[in-house]
Amino acid sequence: MGALLAALSAAAAMPVLQAGQAPQLVAEAAGKEARPAVLHFWATWCEACRDEFPALRPGLLKLPARGVGVLLVSIDPPGDRQKAQQMLAHYRLQALPAVLLDAPDPEPVLRAVGEPKWDGTLPATFVFDAEGKLRKSFVGRADPAALETAIRSVTR
């Protein structure tokens, strides 16, 4: 019962950020220390996101214990925050930090991530080194093995 309450309170805590806060996402994922980070962009309406979550789940859940920050970034409208929280709960990902980014204009988000080839396609996963430099991008579904290789390259 305690685990369920903790999960529900974690899910209820999904903050809503404005698009102008996008430049802070990598620092938010990394936390207080300089460490590698993974940003994963998704949305409840994204079929590919729903297909991808089960494959990425095991690796994503292990990242904090490996010293890698992770942030799940929903780009749903703020009114769909509960749906986003429910989706994370459905895929048992509510233990990971998550935010809802209110970005009706994706341009500030695209600039903040620093991947010139990203046009806002979802899902999208970005791997940053401990200095916050983008090292690998996965636009569309990420292959879990390729994502693992990218993470290993920034944790050596």
Q: Which helix (H) or strand (E) element contains residue 100?
A: strand 98-102
Backbone phi, then psi, for 38, in 5-degree steps?
Answer: -125, 125
Alpha-carbon torsion angle 61, 62, 63, 64, nearest 10 = 90
Would the pTM count as exceeding 0.85?
yes
**Percent of the chain beyond pLDDT 90?**
75
* Residue 13 confidence (pLDDT): 66
What is the average per-residue pLDDT within 1-15?
A: 49
